[in-house]
């Protein structure tokens, strides 16, 4: 995503002129009171959540994880057995020996009690973690849309400033030309004005190019493939304060899905340890067989026979197979606990940083709107009037107008940065939208 940066050297010359004649600031009432999120932004966030490919992939992953819960605790398929037992070979006969039978058997492996429940618990914890990961993805996409929207709003405001300034600059160039014709100004004033108009045209082209890139990024977030519809962002306005988060940072982050997902992984690891330890106990193979015997050679009937057997494995290879499994499960739990702690600390530090940025940018916006902007406007008006009568030179007028441009643009930038910090805070505390 493009981060719009300003350089006094790049902007100063091309936009220094004409703010005395510009029709208002980019956000004249933006910093007076907190504003609710524009309906367009909330609609874009909802569209992204519904159509973004990252969210779709996360939903499919959750569907797959949920399906694994039932299979994790399912029994193995039963084994059907067919055959002939105890048949003499010389000659082959099913009637000569009374122990010869046609056999039908059915077998089933039964895990030791508790294993199936633990397997389901591990799969359930996996699914819970994936579900929380889906919510984190939704929150992240919501944050990305809001940040992209603020970038678009700032870019659009800059283009509006350029259009207004160009009109004002043309009028200022005409004033300089009129004064030059009567000998009250130097020719250099007229040439400077024309040069700045050309540089302003180049700046307009650059802003248009940046807007195209931002529009493409927004379409990607919204899942609009092949769409040419452009998003026209509203004028920048200060978002509402983050509220009680500022007073209680640590409890606020406990609801972040990413942290809850890591907590689920810790629980999963604990269940994996229990399951690995349960492998010390044997599984059972239950087998039921039915044997059908033919009549004896003299025609006497023979009784059919039934067999029931239970077999179980002997988990004697503990040192080479079972103990490493338990050690691995314990190591995985330690890793999950360390990841949870690290993410918790990182989230808390990030939240404190964003809260500080919100306070900084809000104070800056209020200072510019309430104090600096009226002062520089008055200075520009005074300089323009003095230039008309020859009391100040053209350079003084340019400097006064440059200060107005800088404060006006800084105001719009402060509002955008404030709102982007609010979006970051919502992500860190587990909120998906404005």
Structure confidence at residue 23 (pLDDT): 36
| Residues 6+ positions from 67 with CB-CB distance below 8 Å | none
CA dihedral 413, 417, 420, 421 (to 10 degrees): -170
What integer pLDDT is reported at residue 1 of this predicted model? 44
| pLDDT of 351 over the 80 cut | yes
Q: Each residue of 75-87: pLDDT tens digit?
A: 999 999 999 988 8
**The pLDDT value given to residue 383:** 81
Question: Which residues in 6-24 are b (16+ Cβ under 10 Å) and which e?
Answer: eeeeebbbbbbbbbbbbee
pLDDT at 37: 58
Which pLDDT belongs to residue 32? 42
What pLDDT sits at residue 356? 93
* pLDDT above 60 for 29: no
CB 412 within 8 A of CB 352: no
State the average pLDDT over residues 371-394.
Answer: 83
Please, which residues have CB within 8 angstroms of residue 285's CB and are 6 or more apart in sequence? 107, 108, 109, 110, 310, 311, 312
Q: What DSSP line would sit under 353-375, residue for residue?
A: HHHHHHHHHHHHHHHIIIIIHHH
d(Cα 387, Cα 397) in Å, to the nearest integer?
Answer: 7
Q: Which of 110, 119, 80 has its CA nearest to residue 271? A: 119
77 contact partners, CB below 8 Å, separation of at least 6: none
Between 298 and 349, whose confidence is greater? 349
Question: 261 pLDDT exceeds 90?
Answer: yes
Helix (H) / strand (E) containing 126: helix 115-181
Residue 158: predicted pLDDT: 84
What pLDDT digit, counting tens, does each position of 137-159 carry? 999 999 999 999 999 999 998 88
Distances (CA, A) of 152 to 210, 306, 405, 420: 9, 80, 19, 12
pLDDT at residue 343 above 60?
Answer: yes
Q: What percent of the chain has pLDDT over 70?
A: 87
Answer whether residue 35 shows pLDDT above 50.
no
What pLDDT is attached to residue 24? 44
* Structural element, H or E, at residue 236: none
State the average pLDDT for the chain: 83
Q: How far is CA 313 from CA 52, 159, 318, 320, in A?
A: 50, 77, 13, 16
The continuous run of DSSP H or E covering 278 comes out as helix 257-278
More confident residue, 26 or 294: 294
DSSP state of 312: E
pLDDT band (50, 70, 90) for residue 203 = confident
d(Cα 245, Cα 387) in Å, to the nearest integer? 52
The pLDDT of residue 185 is 67
Average pLDDT, integer, range 315-320: 78
For residue 251, name the pLDDT band (cuts at 50, 70, 90). Answer: low
Question: In angstroms, how far is CA 415 from the centroid of its own chain?
Answer: 22
**3 pLDDT above the threshold of 60:** no
Q: State the pLDDT at residue 243.
A: 61
Ramachandran class of 327: left when φ > 0, alpha when ψ lies in -120 to 50, beta otherwise: alpha
Instruction: Pick the more confident residue, 278 or 433.
Output: 278
Q: Is the model more confident about 370 or about 98?
A: 370
pLDDT class of 13 with cuts at 50, 70, 90: very low
Tell me the C-alpha distance between 151 and 214, whole Å. Answer: 7
- In 312-340, which positions are buried (b, 16+ CB within 10 angstroms) versus exposed (e)? eeeeeeeeeebeebbeebbebbeebbeeb
Count CA within 13 A, CB hemisphere, residue 160.
Answer: 19
pLDDT at 113 over 80: yes
pLDDT at 327: 92
- Cβ–Cβ < 8 Å for 290, 306: yes
Question: Phi and psi of 304, rounded to 5°?
Answer: -75, 165
Cα distances (angstroms) measured from residue 208 to each of 155, 157, 201, 215, 266 = 8, 12, 11, 10, 49
What integer pLDDT is reported at residue 263 of this predicted model? 93
Higher pLDDT, 291 or 3: 291
Of 112-126, 163-177, 376-390, the one with minimum mean pLDDT is 163-177
């Amino acid at each position: 995503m493009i981060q719009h940066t300003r350089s006094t050297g790049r902007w100063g010359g091309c936009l220094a002129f004409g703010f005395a004649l510009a029709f208002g600031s980019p956000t004249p009432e933006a910093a007076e009171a907190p504003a609710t999120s524009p309906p367009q932004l909330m609609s874009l966030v909802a569209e992204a959540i519904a159509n973004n490919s990252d969210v779709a992939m996360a939903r499919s992953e959750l569907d797959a994880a949920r399906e694994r819960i039932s299979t994790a605790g399912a029994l193995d398929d039963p084994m059907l057995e067919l055959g002939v037992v105890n048949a003499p070979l010389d000659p082959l006969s099913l009637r000569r020996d009374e122990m010869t039978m046609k056999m039908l058997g059915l077998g089933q492996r039964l895990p030791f009690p508790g294993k199936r429940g633990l397997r389901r618990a591990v799969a359930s914890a996996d699914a819970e973690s994936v579900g929380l990961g889906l919510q984190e993805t939704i929150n992240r996409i919501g944050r990305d849309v809001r940040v992209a929207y603020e970038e678009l709003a700032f870019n659009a405001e800059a283009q509006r400033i350029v259009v207004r300034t160009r009109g004002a600059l043309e009028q200022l160039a005409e004033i300089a030309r009129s004064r030059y014709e009567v000998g009250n100004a130097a020719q250099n004033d007229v040439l400077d004005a024309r040069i700045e108009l050309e540089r302003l045209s180049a700046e307009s082209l650059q802003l248009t190019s940046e807007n195209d890139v931002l529009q493409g990024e927004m379409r990607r977030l919204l899942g609009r493939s092949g769409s040419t519809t452009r998003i026209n962002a509203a004028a920048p306005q200060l978002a509402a304060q983050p509220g009680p988060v500022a007073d209680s940072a640590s409890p606020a982050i406990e609801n972040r899905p990413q942290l809850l997902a890591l907590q689920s992984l810790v629980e999963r690891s604990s269940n994996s340890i229990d399951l690995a330890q349960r492998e010390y106990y044997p599984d059972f193979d239950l087998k039921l067989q039915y044997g059908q015997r033919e009549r004896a050679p003299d025609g006497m009937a023979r009784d059919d026979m039934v067999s029931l057997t239970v077999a179980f494995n002997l988990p004697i290879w503990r040192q080479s197979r079972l103990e490493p499994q338990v050690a691995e499960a314990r190591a995985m739990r330690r890793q999950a606990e360390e990841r949870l702690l690290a993410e918790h600390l990182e989230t808390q530090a990030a939240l404190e940083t964003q809260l500080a940025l919100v306070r900084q940018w809000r104070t800056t916006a209020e200072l510019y709107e309430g104090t600096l902007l009226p002062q520089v406007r008055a200075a520009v008006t005074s300089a323009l009037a003095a230039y008309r009568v020859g009391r100040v030179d053209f350079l003084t007028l340019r400097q006064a107008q440059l200060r107005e441009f800088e404060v006006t643009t800084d105001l719009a930038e402060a509002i955008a940065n404030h709102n982007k910090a609010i979006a970051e805070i919502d992500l860190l505390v587990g909120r998906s939208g404005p």
